[in-house]
A and B are shown apart, each in its own frame.
Chain A
Amino acid sequence: MVGRNWRKSVLIRKPDDVRPSEITSESNYINRRDFIRSGAIAGGSLIAPSALSAVIPDTRLAGLSDVAQSALSTDEAPNSFEDISTYNNFYEFGLGKGDPVIQAENFKPRPWAIEVSGHATKTGTFDFDDFMKPFDLEERIYRMRCVEAWSMVIPWVGISLADVVKHFQPTSKAQYVAFETLEDRDQMPGIRGRSLDWPYREGLTIAEATNPLPILAVGIYGNVIPNQNGAPIRLVVPWKYGFKGIKSIVKIRFMSSRPKTSWNMAIPGEYGFYANVNPTVNHPRWSQARERRIGGSLFASKQETLMFNGYGEHVAHLYKDLNLRRYF
């Protein structure tokens, strides 16, 4: 049984030596999900929220435990871990989509601290482990639509942003939640370039931030999130273009006025604050009507982009009085 022994040898290798595709084969992964789902239907207890407390191992790509499933997940087939972890934008680690996987190799996502400030009752600087403790881990399989007209399906593991916001008890003055990425020139070679005004900044309205969909993700495919995807903690807002999903967050601020956001600051005519996925409002330089789903063959055709990336039933009401052509 050469295969078995080989698998065993994988287990004792250093995490750095483990190739992404070895961690959880996608087919095993999907079987596991089916198993969990059927178990949930039979027992009825697995899906119910429990008093979990999120503990995130500080070993690279280590498995996450006590992860609940979510009804908000899509049934679409997730992209391979390979695609998710080798093709993404993270300008702090280079401008090409193949750069982050290489340049973030030695990034140290732990120890990590998150500063919570602004119009909230509970504020302060929290160690990452303490920050995570009050929340429950959930898997959310979401579509991700990049503003560059490509898309993926990603099985995130994370905590509900709404829970996080409520935990810090924002005051009535808090109309927006702003986020900042770590700005560390020594660890992030892309920062030496002047591609964006560092640190990377993003923000949501308080109504968006307390919607059930957004999460702060700490994992992918049931394991600790890879450095290049925004370790140790990043935002995921599935109805907005990917650049809203700020990575490697070190600051959360409750604000009374609209925060400045990086891409909007860089090119305001092309990237708005809202950045809702909208097939009817084109980017000035390319169409947003269709998207290329990553992972298809060379001749696979593109697919129609859906309003709010298909999450309209959960979020359309947030924008019913907003001119989405103007506030793109």
Chain B
Amino acid sequence: MNTLQQIRFVWKPIVLLVCVLPFLFVVGDAFNITGGLGANPVEAIQDRLGNWALRFIMITLAVTPLRRLTGWNWLSRFRRMLGLFTFFYAFMHFLTWFVLDREMRLNDIIEDLTERPFITLGFTAVVLLTALAVTSLTAIRRRMGRRWQSLHNMAYAIAALGVWHYWWQVKKDVTEPLIYAVILSVLLGVRLFWRWKRQ
């Protein structure tokens, strides 16, 4: 097997399995197989899925800087999968809110979306992520040409929306949102630095 085949048939399935593990643990905990979700299971599911969505967008955005720093070009082969997992966790987080938390009551959902800014932010991020997920198909990517890159540069804006959403959601302690904000600033900072150096 050459390296490309190795990535495709060995490493990609392994990474896929690892990425799906947090979700499997949430499901396992929900049915008290791998553990439990505590006294407020809906809240626990929502928090965990949302946190994983944020982690995955940070990991996805770290791929390119890491590739540049290390010279490991094979890293970019995993970027789409990681991006799609960001979408997967964000969408499951959204579904938990929609089905388990808001119980599909449309009036409540519209009230949340229009009157609660942190939900508006989170929802916007999910809508944008959906657009990125759909256009990640190779055929669509080819057809979009240059516009594809400008659309997918939105990943940074989405990450910022996600962190902001988390920041506004917490009652008082912003430690965790702050950690994500710092990571995002570093990721964005190195790119801006490289761009500035090139000029």
Contacts and interface: CB of A to CB of B under 8 A. Distances in A.
Interface string B106-129: 001001100111100000000000
A295 B39 contact: yes
Interface stretch (B4-12, B79-87, B168-176): B168-176
A294 interface: yes
A87 B40 contact: yes
B30 interface: yes
A193 B173 contact: yes
Interface in B99-151: 100, 103, 108, 111-112, 115-118
A150 B116 contact: no
Interface majority SS (helix, strand, loop, mixed), chain B: helix
A298 B108 contact: no
A302 interface: yes
A171 interface: no
A294 B103 contact: no
Nearest to B169: A285
A53 B111 CA distance: 52
For A150, A289, A292, which residue has the most chain B Cβ atoms within 10 angstroms?
A292
Contacts, number: 54
Interface residues on B, range: 20 to 34
Interface in B152-199: 168-169, 171-173, 175
A294 B39 contact: yes
Contact of A266 (B41, B42, B172): B172
B173 to A, nearest CB: 5
A298 B39 contact: no
A16 interface: no
B40 A294 contact: yes
A285 B43 CA distance: 16
Contacts of B173: 95, 193, 195
Interface majority SS (helix, strand, loop, mixed), chain A: loop
Contacts of B172: 95, 195-196, 266-267
Contacts of B175: 95, 193
Contacts of A97: 38-40
B168 A285 contact: yes
Nearest to A89: B171
A105 interface: no
A58 interface: no
A86 interface: yes
Contacts of A295: 39
A287 B39 contact: no
A148 interface: yes
B48 to A, nearest CB: 12
A287 B38 contact: no
Interface in A275-328: 282, 284-287, 289-290, 292, 294-295, 297-299, 301-302
Contacts of B111: 287
B4 to A, nearest CB: 43
A86 B108 contact: no
Contact of A86 (B38, B100, B118): B38
A151 to B, nearest CB: 11
A302 B42 CA distance: 11
B103 A150 contact: no
B118 A150 contact: no
Contacts of A82: 39
A267 B171 CA distance: 9
B39 A86 contact: yes
A22 B83 CA distance: 47
Interface of B: 30, 37-43, 45, 100, 103, 108, 111-112, 115-118, 168-169, 171-173, 175
23 contacts: A82-B39, A86-B38, A86-B39, A95-B172, A95-B173, A97-B38, A98-B38, A150-B40, A193-B173, A195-B172, A196-B172, A266-B172, A284-B116, A285-B117, A285-B169, A286-B116, A287-B108, A287-B111, A289-B108, A290-B108, A292-B42, A292-B43, A297-B41
Interface of A: 82-83, 86-87, 95, 97-98, 148, 150, 193, 195-196, 266-267, 282, 284-287, 289-290, 292, 294-295, 297-299, 301-302
